[in-house]
Structure 1
Amino acid sequence: MITRLTLLLAAALSLSSAFAETKKLLVVTVTTGFRHSSIETAEKVLAELGTKSGAFTVDFVHQPEGQPKNPGKPPVKGEKETDESFKAKQDAYSTALAKFNEDNKTWGDKIKAYMADKMAIDKIKDYDGFVFANTTGDLLFPDRDGFTKLIEGGKAFIAMHSGSDTYHPFRGYIDMLGGEFETHKAQVEIQPILHSPGHPITKAVPMGWKVFDEIYIIKSFDKAKVHGLLGLNAHPNEGTPGYFPVSWCKEYGAGRVYYNSLGHREDVWDPTWKEGTKDRKNSPEIAHTYQEMILAGIKWALKLEEGVSTPGNIP
């Protein structure tokens, strides 16, 4: 009887410990610049990864409604277009642009108030980590320096794709992340180099793995300061020699940072997106591998997984 009770107690304590160790992630998908269509897919996948793994729970800071639509580039006169017709287009564009600028100022004030509420340090300090899933622009945090200090103090930070196209003027964020978006060209298939095949984040990536996506050109990057995971030794589109990072991780004070520049396309995130249609460029297996990288990257950043992450491993 004593043995049975002891085993039951041990099982109960083990279960209790497992629940106690579940980490809390805050996923931010707010954008003040370009907004990716894959964001909703990313939100779904991140929530599923947390539920299925049992490693973390997910709360979201979603985009509030009402963002005005940019009218885009000014009209260009067609070869056979009359001056009168082109002037009408120019006038319509000017009117639309003026309205957008006015609405965008109101939107900016709304975002600032929204983020002051959602991202106040006192409200987010108990999260174990933060994910920027395809964020863009100035996110108007009420205390952006306080946010990076949370990471430096031991929190996890994970960013995908345009998480590097975020907070460009705030060098504290760029230094924490390890690089920033500069530009990109047409979507293309790449076969990235595996710099650290034994690392928990990339151990699921098979040799010769290929992926079709929008490949970022990164600036403000120092390979001596990060642990490289995926990269290219030539420009993804032009083929010119040079080093082009795709994914890395790094220590930041007592915290950990993981970045993966892939994730523009829905079919990189989700193996079921438009399955069997011509719109799908990546196989379900490619999306499964991406998900495994993201899950392992989150767990590594949360210190649930260990791996040698010494900087300077990129040749």
Structure 2
Amino acid sequence: MRIKIWYVLFVILGCSFYAAAQRHKKLIRVLIVDGFSNHDWKQTSALTKQILEESKLFTVSVSTTPGTPDDPAWENWDPQFENYDVVIQNTNNIQSPALKWPVRVQQHLERYVRDGGGLYVLHSANNAFPDWPAYNDMIGLGWRSKDVGYALQFDANNHIDSIAPGQGEGTNHGERFNAVINIINRHPINMDYPQKWKTVSMEVYRYARGPAKNLTVLSVATDSVTHKIWPVEWIVKYGKGRVYASSMGHLWPGDVYPPAYRCVGFETTMIRVAEWLATKKVTYAVPANFPTAANISLRPETDFPLKKN
């Protein structure tokens, strides 16, 4: 009887130590950079921060740029990328080309990624900075004109057709729709996902273009108008660092916690991407209510009761 009692006490004590260790496990440090975009960057940052921190894996900070090109605050804006495990890029100057990061900050990000940092290019952030050569290399594919870079199109057997500069079209997309994401390369990010899963209110980018170097496409989707197959998610190796880019995560002005951000598949992917960028591993489990090829899966809108900006 005494042995059994000691055994029970040992198990309880062990569980307590394990729980304490989990509570004190070092959180992954994430920095979101925002401040300007033709999308709703304020709500995008707020939802991204909440989704990541809910997982109990991350602590998320935000660095907001000055809002106009001639703001004197640019002189002192200097996000300390090296203090973070992952940087999430949430700025887009497609409609305001004069809004740019200072060259010193651009070089700082280049060095951060090249030396081993993780960069998450969130939705419209791949529209940004076409005249920043290293940024084009880091993101691999972006929203670019017809004459800039290569576009990647896939056939039904997942073979790639590389479309040269000047051929095809500039980057564009049709109306948002519920798209079936088809995994073509297994990776820690999508490990244990179904081969196909459906997300909501999706923009499938046609003719995303760029250097497309050191790039691996993880998933594709069929455009609802042309019925052609285009990349949805891809990763890029840049020096010792890792970059993830995706057209998922659209949030337009006037939307309030839209279905795209309530999608369990998108939220799970965002968490797993950030973990992989930081650690090269993924421990966050695929939830039981992850979407399937036939069925979407949305969290209740009341989970994030945000106000309109």
Q: Please give the TM-score of this superposition, normalised by the length of structure 1.
A: 0.64
Larger Rg: 1
Relative to structure 1, the CA distance from residue 192 to residue 8 in structure 2 (aligned partners, 3 Å threshold; closer, same or farther) is: closer
What is the SS of the residue equivalent to 2:44? helix
The within-5 A match list for 1:275-294 is 284=262, 287-294=263-270
Give the C-alpha shift of residue 140 in structure 1. 2.8
| 2:277 is aligned with 1:301 | yes
What is the SS of the residue equivalent to 2:189? coil
- Runs (5+) with no aligned partner, structure 1: 68-106, 274-279, 308-315
Give the C-alpha shift of residue 44 in structure 1. 2.1
In the alignment, which residue of structure 1 is the partner of 2:160?
none
Give the C-alpha shift of residue 156 in structure 1. 0.9
Amino acid at match of 1:40: K
In the alignment, which residue of structure 1 is the partner of 2:164?
none
* Aligned counterparts of 2:22 and 2:103: Cα–Cα separation in 1: 34
| 2:191 is aligned with 1:186 | no
For residue 39 of structure 2, the aligned residue among 7, 22, 36 is: 36
The within-5 A match list for 1:1-315 is 15=20, 19=24, 21-31=26-36, 34-37=37-40, 39-64=41-66, 67=67, 107-110=68-71, 113-120=72-79, 123-136=80-93, 138-182=100-144, 183-189=171-177, 190-197=179-186, 199-201=188-190, 203-204=192-193, 207-216=196-205, 217-222=207-212, 225-232=214-221, 237-239=225-227, 241=228, 244-265=230-251, 273=258, 284=262, 287-303=263-279, 305-306=281-282
Give the C-alpha shift of residue 129 in structure 1. 1.5
8 Å CA contact 1:136–1:167 kept in 2: the answer is yes
Give the C-alpha shift of residue 128 in structure 1. 1.3
Give the C-alpha shift of residue 157 in structure 1. 0.5
What is the SS of the residue equivalent to 2:24? helix
Give the C-alpha shift of residue 52 in structure 1. 1.5
Relative to structure 1, the CA distance from residue 200 to residue 50 in structure 2 (aligned partners, 3 Å threshold; closer, same or farther) is: same
Amino acid at match of 1:49: I
What is the SS of the residue equivalent to 1:211? strand
8 Å CA contact 1:133–1:159 kept in 2: the answer is yes
Give the C-alpha shift of residue 7 in structure 1. 8.2
8 Å CA contact 1:181–1:218 kept in 2: the answer is yes
Relative to structure 1, the CA distance from residue 244 to residue 55 in structure 2 (aligned partners, 3 Å threshold; closer, same or farther) is: same
Give the C-alpha shift of residue 227 in structure 1. 2.1
Q: Deviations over 1:92-115 (max 9, x none)?
A: xxxxxxxxxxxxxxx3121xx434
* Aligned counterparts of 1:221 and 1:210: Cα–Cα separation in 2: 28
What is the SS of the residue equivalent to 1:263? coil
Supply the RMSD in Å over aligned alpha carbons: 3.6
8 Å CA contact 1:205–1:289 kept in 2: the answer is no
Higher helix share: 1
| Paired residue total | 244
In the alignment, which residue of structure 2 is the partner of 1:96?
none
Q: Deviations over 1:66-91 (max 9, x none)?
A: x5xxxxxxxxxxxxxxxxxxxxxxxx
